């Protein structure tokens, strides 16, 4: 009898184990199926995915989210390239890593995610989101902007364009301030380390500091020129005979003319800048269409028209993807142009 009971107990344990294995396999298969059905992650790097998730919780406007997405995609491309360089031992001094860290800080500051102030909520339209709610963080800029708004010199479209110039100037100042903090920290570290360095290492460290000071000087010069342009445009209105209108293109062209580029090289660059400006304008067009579509969707949601809402959601999703795609292309092209012109400036100093 005891033997029979032990046999029955062993059979029960085996059955339970078999059932458990079956359920485990089923659970694993379900988990795999769910993972396959889930949308792919927006970013390969965890920290960038975290920034993206935080931005969505902050309810940034559709346009700002699309712009942030493009900035993060460029950041991810640069960080993945750096990882390959690091694996090959090509960033021994950590300069490229420091620049990537600074670039990410600039992005966080740009969207109010650096902890210094609350990010701007985005329940307004593309133009008014900026014209009414954004802040310039500089009394001189605020004064100029208020003067421009009340002067009667500008159409709505020109005010939109002028505001982009003001925002671009604000971002340049943020970038400069972050670089200035980085250089100050580097100088302090440099002073502490210099006595412990090998003799042949000292000139290289000095060269790195000199390079950063040159970059600071270049950025400060660009800021000064940009402010003078804003002051001139605010007082006189737009000169419709000017060669370029987009603020980033104007900056690049001014820098290019201060290099030792030949006339042929400048002419080639001028044509490329015209193509770039057309690309930027196309991006702005899609940004506006995206915001209009979001406004329309909010209106339809209030009406309860499910079929109409479904069609609008599809259109909005398409516009979001197109805006992100164009934003990435614009930023990548800007990055390439900036690198090309910076090399010309460095050549001047040699």
Which of 197-201, 208-212, 263-267 is least confident?
Answer: 197-201
For residue 301, is pLDDT > 80?
A: no
**pTM for this prediction:** 0.74
- Alpha-carbon span 45 to 134, nearest angstrom: 30
Which DSSP string corresponds to 271-293?
Answer: HHHHHHHHHHHHHHHHHHHHHHH
pLDDT digits (tens, 9 = 90+) for 202-229: 566 667 777 778 888 888 888 998 899 8
Buried b (16+ CB within 10 A) or exposed e, 275-308: ebbebbeebbebbbbbbebbeebeebeeeeeeee
Average pLDDT (18-37) is 55
- Alpha-carbon span 76 to 324, nearest angstrom: 14
More confident residue, 295 or 11: 295
At 105, list the tokens: 């800080």
pLDDT at 93: 75
């Amino acid at each position: 009898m005891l033997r029979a009971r032990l046999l029955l107990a062993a059979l029960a344990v085996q059955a339970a184990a078999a059932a458990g294995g079956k359920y485990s396999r089923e659970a694993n298969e379900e988990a795999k199926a769910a993972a396959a059905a889930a949308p792919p992650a927006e970013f390969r790097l965890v920290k960038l995915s975290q920034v993206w998730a935080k931005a969505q919780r902050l309810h940034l406007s559709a346009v700002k989210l699309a712009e942030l997405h493009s900035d993060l995609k460029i950041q991810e491309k640069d960080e993945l390239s750096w990882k390959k360089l690091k694996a090959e031992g090509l960033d021994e001094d950590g300069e490229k890593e420091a620049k990537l860290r600074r670039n990410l800080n600039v992005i966080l500051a740009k969207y109010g995610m650096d902890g210094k102030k609350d990010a701007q909520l985005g329940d307004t339209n593309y133009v008014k989101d900026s014209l009414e709610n954004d802040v310039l963080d500089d009394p001189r800029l605020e004064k100029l902007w208020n003067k421009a708004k009340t002067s009667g010199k500008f159409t709505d479209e020109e005010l939109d364009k002028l505001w982009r110039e003001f925002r671009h100037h604000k971002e340049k100042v943020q970038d400069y301030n972050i670089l200035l903090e980085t250089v100050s920290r580097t100088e302090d570290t440099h002073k502490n380390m210099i006595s412990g360095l090998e003799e042949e290492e000292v000139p290289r460290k000095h060269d790195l500091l000199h390079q950063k000071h040159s970059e600071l000087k270049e950025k400060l010069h660009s800021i000064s020129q940009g402010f003078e342009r804003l002051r001139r445009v605010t007082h006189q209105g737009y000169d419709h005979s000017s060669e370029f209108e987009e603020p980033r293109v104007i900056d690049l062209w001014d820098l290019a003319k201060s290099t030792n580029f030949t006339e042929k090289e400048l002419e080639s660059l001028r044509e490329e800048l015209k193509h770039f400006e057309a690309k930027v304008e196309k991006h702005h067009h899609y940004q506006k269409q995206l915001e209009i579509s979001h406004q329309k969707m909010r209106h339809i949601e209030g009406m309860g028209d499910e079929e109409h809402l479904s069609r609008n959601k599809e259109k909005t999703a398409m516009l979001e993807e197109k805006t992100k795609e164009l934003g990435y292309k614009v930023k990548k092209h800007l990055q390439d142009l900036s690198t090309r012109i910076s090399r010309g400036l460095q050549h001047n100093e040699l």
